[in-house]
Chains A and B, each alone.
Chain A
Amino acid sequence: MTMIFGVPLAVLSGQLLIGIINGAFYALLSLGLAVIFGLLKIINFAHGAMYMLGALVTVVLFDLLGVNYWVALFVAPVLVGAFGMLIEYFLLRRIAGQDHIYSLLLTFGVALIIQGVLTNIYGVSGLRYSMPDMFKGGINLGFMFLPYYRAWVIVVALLVCFGTWFIIEKTKLGSYLRAGTEDSQLMQGFGINVPLLVSLTYGFGVMLAAFAGVLAAPIYSVTPVMGSNILIVVFAVVVIGGMGSIGGAIITGILMGVIEGLTKTFYPPASSAVIFLVMVLVLMIRPTGLFGKEA
């Protein structure tokens, strides 16, 4: 058996694959956080709950109405995104312009309420969601076994990340978002409906989280608390990448997933701490994050 640094190649590549998958989720989630923070200047602690809602809605839609995975991939993010826009319109808008701590506490509270209510209904033991038939099985690459679904998750997550980057950096709509991030008051003075842009942006960020949730439903245990577990790591990823950089959020997400996977292979006890260790190091050397703009 081929060994690399004393580790079988199959084990190493298996962990790398898990790392890339986790990284794809980190990227999707931190991307949404970065988009929301950019325009709304709020730290969206409800992001994990939105991710969870994406997964839960997928499961519930299937159980109640038999809605299949492909439909859920569109419907669940739209439903959750609309729910996010309601939260923005009725709650977040009222504290716009206040200190970050208010929006942090508000979104954290919203997340706790959503999680609490759903835990009451569904418990925390995890709901079953079976993978669509076409994704069952996988391909033997010689050095490792690649399940089809995992390959799909990586490809589609990267496509969505790239699409989001393209929209923000290269289109007219994206230029509104970038300009609004710098000076939304002046944008509004030019006749752009900034309150609407803010709602749509929050809804879009939430949609990205819910989309990640749908992708996660067949491979992770779907529970009302699944979001709070991943959210803390995602925030560390955002801090490492630097707030406000779209490309940075994507690259850092994947990179951190890979680092986590490698640590799991070579020194498992440190695997859940390694991202935070990287965060500390980055903050010491570059307080604005790897891709953050100098203040």
Chain B
Amino acid sequence: MSKNPDREYEQLRISGLHAFYGESHILHGIDMVVQRGELVTLLGRNGAGRSTTLKAIMNMVGRRTGSIMINGEETMQCAPHHIARLGVGYCPEHRGIFSSLSVQENLTLPPVVRSGGMSLEEIYTMFPNLYERRFSQGTKLSGGEQQMLAMARILRTGANMLLLDEITEGLAPVIVEKLGEVLIALKNKGLTIVLVEQNFHFAAPLADRHYVVEHGQIVEEISANELSAKQSVLDGYLGV
């Protein structure tokens, strides 16, 4: 069903990326490429460096070396607010819903970075719960609603590459299913998605490719059609 990724257009190219928090060296030379319209997952154990990779793309870690090209533009020297303006939408693992803001204020907080984002009406159609609770305090929502809000927030901005960190973590199956539908809808719109995911069964049917991260490096790249053949390799890495 999903639109074919544009193999000609590299939305993200990371080469030799190292990242540090203070003295600790977290990423040890990440290399990966994401084409426009692809949905790529970063799989791996906790602490492998998957979330740090997303944060490093956003320039939210202490120190980085290597290269991160977004739409062909080198971003290592860019301040975080410039990276967002290249069309990158980041959804952090802790969701980052602001408690001093209402649901609607949370939703309209991130500035529009590109044209073609979803309107408030479209978002409320996609997430009716958020409309009903638009005047509530952001953190008064349930975990699932907060996750919807965290996703919806970056859809409004017109970002065409989404970095999603553990969006299904701790959520009920029915919510996870809804998130899966949302991801398919976004993919059909042609958005590029990098998904850090613990729940392999959630990610497997959605993704075009998987990168396996271990000890701050990419140790395996598996495309969707190789998945069954390489299942045992993958299981070994994920320790399942």
Q: A178 contacts the other chain (Cβ, under 8 Å)?
A: yes
Bound CA–CA A59/B40 (angstroms): 65
Q: B66 contacts the other chain (Cβ, under 8 Å)?
A: no
Q: A175-B105, A176-B109, A179-B109 are in contact. Are A189 and B99 (CB under 8 A)?
A: no
Partner of A179, one of B82, B83, B101: B101
Residues of chain B within 8 A of A176, CB atoms compared: 109
Bound CA–CA A189/B153 (angstroms): 12
Bound CA–CA A176/B7 (angstroms): 38
Q: A63 contacts the other chain (Cβ, under 8 Å)?
A: no
Q: A193 contacts the other chain (Cβ, under 8 Å)?
A: yes
Q: A175-B109, A185-B60, A195-B79 are in contact. Are A190 and B101 (CB under 8 A)?
A: no
Would B58 and A189 count as touching, CB distance under 8 A?
Answer: yes
Q: How many residues of A are counted as interface, with CB atoms below 8 angstroms from the partner's CB atoms?
A: 19
A1 to chain B, nearest CB (A): 51
A178 to chain B, nearest CB (A): 4
| Interface residue ranges of A162-219 to B (CB < 8 Å) | 172, 175-176, 178-179, 181-183, 185-195
Residues of chain A within 8 A of B101, CB atoms compared: 175, 178-179
B234 to chain A, nearest CB (A): 30
Residues of chain B within 8 A of A175, CB atoms compared: 101, 105, 108-109
Residue of A nearest to B84 (CB): A191
Residue from the set A175, A188, A190, A195 with the largest chain B CB neighbour count within 10 Å: A190
Q: A175-B105, A176-B109, A179-B109 are in contact. Are A189 and B84 (CB under 8 A)?
A: yes
Residues of chain A within 8 A of B108, CB atoms compared: 172, 175
Would B81 and A192 count as touching, CB distance under 8 A?
Answer: yes
Residues of chain A within 8 A of B81, CB atoms compared: 188-194
B115 to chain A, nearest CB (A): 14
- Encode B94-113 as 1/0 by CB contact (under 8 A) with A: 00101111000100111101
Partner of A191, one of B60, B100, B110: B110
Q: B134 contacts the other chain (Cβ, under 8 Å)?
A: no
A-side interface mostly = helix
Would B100 and A189 count as touching, CB distance under 8 A?
Answer: no
Bound CA–CA A98/B96 (angstroms): 22
Bound CA–CA A189/B80 (angstroms): 5
Q: How many residues of B are counted as interface, with CB atoms below 8 angstroms from the partner's CB atoms?
A: 25
Residue of B nearest to A38 (CB): B100
Residues of chain B within 8 A of A191, CB atoms compared: 81-82, 84-85, 110-111, 113, 157
Residue of B nearest to A176 (CB): B109
| Interface residue ranges of B121-180 to A (CB < 8 Å) | 153-154, 157
Would A186 and B96 count as touching, CB distance under 8 A?
Answer: yes
Residues of chain B within 8 A of A190, CB atoms compared: 81, 84, 90, 109-111, 153-154, 157
A198 to chain B, nearest CB (A): 12
Would B98 and A178 count as touching, CB distance under 8 A?
Answer: yes
Residue of A nearest to B58 (CB): A189
Residue of A nearest to B102 (CB): A175
Q: B16 contacts the other chain (Cβ, under 8 Å)?
A: no
Q: B92 contacts the other chain (Cβ, under 8 Å)?
A: yes
Residue from the set A175, A189, A194 with the largest chain B CB neighbour count within 10 Å: A189
A98 to chain B, nearest CB (A): 13
Would A188 and B98 count as touching, CB distance under 8 A?
Answer: no
Bound CA–CA A39/B108 (angstroms): 20
Bound CA–CA A209/B153 (angstroms): 36
Instruction: Beyond the given A188-B84, A190-B81, please list 4 additional residue pairs across the A-B interface where CB-CB is below 8 A.
Output: A185-B80, A190-B109, A191-B81, A192-B110
- 20 of the cross-chain contacts (CB-CB < 8 Å) are A175-B101, A175-B105, A175-B109, A178-B100, A179-B101, A183-B96, A186-B90, A187-B109, A188-B81, A189-B80, A190-B81, A190-B84, A190-B90, A190-B110, A190-B111, A191-B84, A191-B113, A191-B157, A192-B81, A195-B79
State the 6 A-B residue pairs at the shortest beta-carbon distance, nearest first.
Answer: A191-B84, A190-B110, A178-B100, A188-B80, A186-B96, A179-B98
Q: Which residues of A contact B (CB under 8 A)?
A: 172, 175-176, 178-179, 181-183, 185-195
